[in-house]
A and B are shown apart, each in its own frame.
Chain A
Amino acid sequence: MTGRGAESPQNMTAPDSLPGRLALTVSAVQYHWPRQVMLDFYDEMAESPADTIVLGEAVCFRRRELKLSDWLALARDLATAGKEVVLVTRTLIESEADLRTVRRLTEQHEFLIEAGDASALQLLPDKTPFVLGPHLNIYNRAALAEHAALGATRWVAPAELSLSMLALINPPDDPVPTITGAAMQTEAFAFGRLPLAISARCFTARHHRLNKDECEFRCLDYPDGLLLSSSEGLPFLVLNGTQTQSAAQHCLISDATALRAAGVSRLRLSPCAQRFGEALDWFDRVMNQGVPATQALPALQAMSLPGGLSNGYAHNRPGMNWTDP
C-alpha cells in the first residue's frame, strides 16, 4: 500500500523507512463546547499535524453554538490552512427539521460529506464521493461494496470491529474498489472516548431531572461529558447528552504495524477538552516520524481522562480492556 496513504503531500514528513503516511483525522467534537472554545480549538487544529478535520454537530439537534453558516466559514478557513475538511451529518435523524439540515449539507458541493445515517445516503446525489460514518454498520466486504457503488471513497469502520476484521472487510492487498477504481480507504478509530451508543433520550438532562426540551444546555458544563461510575467507583461510561461514551480513551498508539497490516490508511482521533493537540502530536510522531510508541504511551497515560486508556476492540477483546503492547 506504499503511497496510497500519502494524501497530503505537504505533510509528507515520514522517513523513507515508513511505508506511507497514516493520515490523521480529527473527528467532529462530540461535546457541547461554547462557541469561542470551539473556534479557539479549530485555530489550534489549523496549525496541527492533522490531515483532515471533520466539522459539524454529530450528536444533538439542540446544540447550536455554531450554525451551519459558521461551520461552513470555519471549513473554508481550515481548507485555506491546508486541511481536508469533511462535514458530518447527525447519527440520529428524528424530525423534518433534522432532514432539512441533512439536505443543506448534502446539497453543498464544496466539502466532502460524512454520512451519519441512511437519510444522508438517500439524500446524497448519486455517485458523489463521500465518507461512510462509523455508525453505518458495515460489517463485511459485501456491505462495503454496496456502499462503494453509491460513491463512498472512505470507510470509517465501526469502533467495535477488530483490526483483523478490518483486514477481512477491506484487505490491503485486495481493497474494495470505489466507482473510480481507486482503493476504498479504511479509517480506524485510534484515540479518544468511544462513541458507544446514541439515544433519543438526553441522559445529561435526565441526571438534572430536566426534560430534553428544557435541558438548559447543561452539557455545556461537561466539556468531556459527565462521568458514570460503577457503584464500586470504577469509571465506566460518560453521559454526553444523547450519546453514551466510554470513560476510557481508546488508544492505538502502540499498534502502528498492526494498523498498516490491516489496510488502515487513516486514523481518527476524537477531541477532548484538554491537551488534545499534544495527543495529536504524539500520534503524528509515532505513526509518521518513527518515534517509538514506548515514548508516547507514558505521556498519553499521564494525560488520560478518568477511565484511563483502552485498546480492547482493536485486539478482538472487550472494548474496555487494555492489552499491553
Chain B
Amino acid sequence: MQGILTAHHDAINSTPNSANSPYAPDSRIRNNAAPPAWLITMDAAVTTNATTRPAVKPELVCPAGSLRALQMAVDAGADAVYLGLKDATNARNFAGLNFDDTQVRAGVAYAHARGARVLMALNTFADARDTRPWFGAVDTAATMGADALIVADTAVMAYCRDHHPKLRLHLSVQASATSYEAIEFYRRHYGIQRAVLPRVLTLSQVAHLARLSMVDIEVFGFGSLCVMVEGRCALSSYVTGQSPNNAGVCSPPSAVRWQHTPSGVDARLNGVLIDHYGPDEPRGYPTLCKGRFDVAGERGYAIEEPTSLNTLAILPELISIGVKAIKIEGRQRSPSYVEQVTKVWRTAIDSACAAPQRYSVQPAWSATLTRFAEGQQHTLGAYDRPWR
C-alpha cells in the first residue's frame, strides 16, 4: 500500500517559516512519524469530544474583496485575510472587486503592521491559451510578501515548487480534496501545508480526516453554501459558458436578466428561467443551483434553498477535532458584511477557546449573521447528516 504510511519518505519538507511563527510547519510533517496502524484502519466513527492533542485556537480567515474590506477585517479581529488579483486567477472574478498590485502592497503592509496574515487566492485553473497571468500572480505574491498562496491547479503548484520553494501553499477548496489521501497527494508532490475542505463532509468525516491528515485543515465557517463539491461543478458553464473552473465565476452577473411580468419578476440566466418571484416575494441572486425548478410536476428548490452555511453551533467540536483555521466566505460581499461577520466570529472563537464547556451561541451573534445570510436562512450543511 502506498499511502500516508510510506509517503513521508519523499515528502517535501519545505519549512519557510521559523519555528515560532504561527505558520511553522506542524510537527507531524517534520518528524516523519507514521500514524499508528489503528488510526489507519478505524472507520469514520470518530468522537468529537476527546482528542489526544490539545485544542489549538483556530485561525480566523476572513474575505477581502477590497482594501477597505481588508482593513475592516483586520480591525475586527481577523487572524488572516484572503484576497485575489483583478483577473481570472481567482474564483471571485467579478467587476469592481479585488486588488491591483498597489492595493496588494498596501493590504499586506496594513495587515502585517497589525499582526495579521495575508493569503492570496490563486485558486482557478490556468487558462491554456495563456498561463502567464497565473505564474505572474505567484511572482507577485512572493514579491509582495503574501504569507501563503491558496492554490488549486497542479500547474501553479509545480511553478511554486520549482520557482518559489519557500512560498507557503494552502490547497484551495477548488482542488476538491475530500480525503486525507487526496490531501497527501498534494503534500507529497507540492509541499502544501494546509488544505481547505469542500463543504460536503459530515463532522465525523472531517474529524477522521483531520486526525489522519499530515497538514493543517481549514473549514468553512460561514457564508454562501456550495451544495456541489467545489471544483467539480460545471453547471454554470453549461448555461453561460463560464464556470468557477474556467473563469473564476459562477452564474456570472453578465448573464443575469431580470424581467418584469404581470405576475412578478423572472430571473433568467442566459435565457433559462432560474426563478420567478411573486410581487411580494423577496428576491435572491439567481445562482443556478438555488433556483426553483419542476421535478415530476413539483415546483421547488430541487437542488438547494438560498441559504448560508453557519457552523457557530458546532464551533467547539470543530476546535476539539483539531481544525486549524475557519474560513468566512464572501469576497464579493460588502466591507460592512466583512466587519460584522468577522466581529461575531472573533468573539465566538475566543469564547469557545476560553471556556468550551460554557460556550453557547449568543442570540446577538445569530441575529447579525442572519442579517447577512443568503435568504436570511442558515444551515449546518453537510456537517449535519440529514442535510445530505
Contacts and interface: CB of A to CB of B under 8 A. Distances in A.
Nearest to A169: B128
16 contacts: A93-B182, A94-B178, A117-B176, A142-B154, A143-B125, A143-B126, A199-B200, A200-B388, A206-B302, A211-B385, A212-B388, A230-B272, A231-B294, A237-B235, A313-B237, A319-B237
Interface in B340-362: none
A288 interface: no
Contact of B153 (A97, A139, A197): A139
Interface string B113-132: 00000000000011111010
Nearest to B268: A230
Contact of A198 (B128, B153, B188, B229): B229
A200 B237 contact: no
B376 to A, nearest CB: 21
Given A117-B178, A140-B131, A160-B243, A229 B294 contact: yes
| Overall SS of chain A's interface | mixed
B311 interface: no
B294 to A, nearest CB: 5
A320 B243 CA distance: 13
A93 B178 contact: yes
Interface stretch (A2-10, A24-32, A120-128): A120-128
B196 to A, nearest CB: 14
A158 interface: yes
B371 interface: no
A320 B43 CA distance: 41
Nearest first, the 7 closest Cβ-Cβ pairs linking A and B are A139-B125, A142-B155, A200-B200, A118-B182, A122-B185, A319-B238, A197-B233
A221 to B, nearest CB: 10
B294 A139 contact: no
Interface of B: 1-3, 7, 41-44, 125-129, 131, 152-155, 158-159, 174-179, 181-186, 188-189, 200-202, 205, 208, 227-229, 231-235, 237-241, 243, 245-246, 270, 272-276, 289, 292-296, 298-299, 302-304, 382, 385-388
A125 B2 contact: yes
B155 A244 contact: no
Contact of B125 (A125, A137, A319): A137
Given A97-B43, A137-B125, A143-B125, A197 B228 contact: yes
A275 B238 CA distance: 25
A143 B294 contact: no
A171 to B, nearest CB: 10
A137 to B, nearest CB: 6
B302 to A, nearest CB: 5
B238 A92 contact: no
Given A118-B177, A165-B128, A318-B270, A95 B388 contact: no
B358 to A, nearest CB: 32
B178 A146 contact: no
Contacts of B201: 94, 200
Nearest to A230: B273
A140 B1 CA distance: 31
Nearest to B273: A230
Contact of A203 (B129, B229, B302): B302
A246 B238 contact: yes
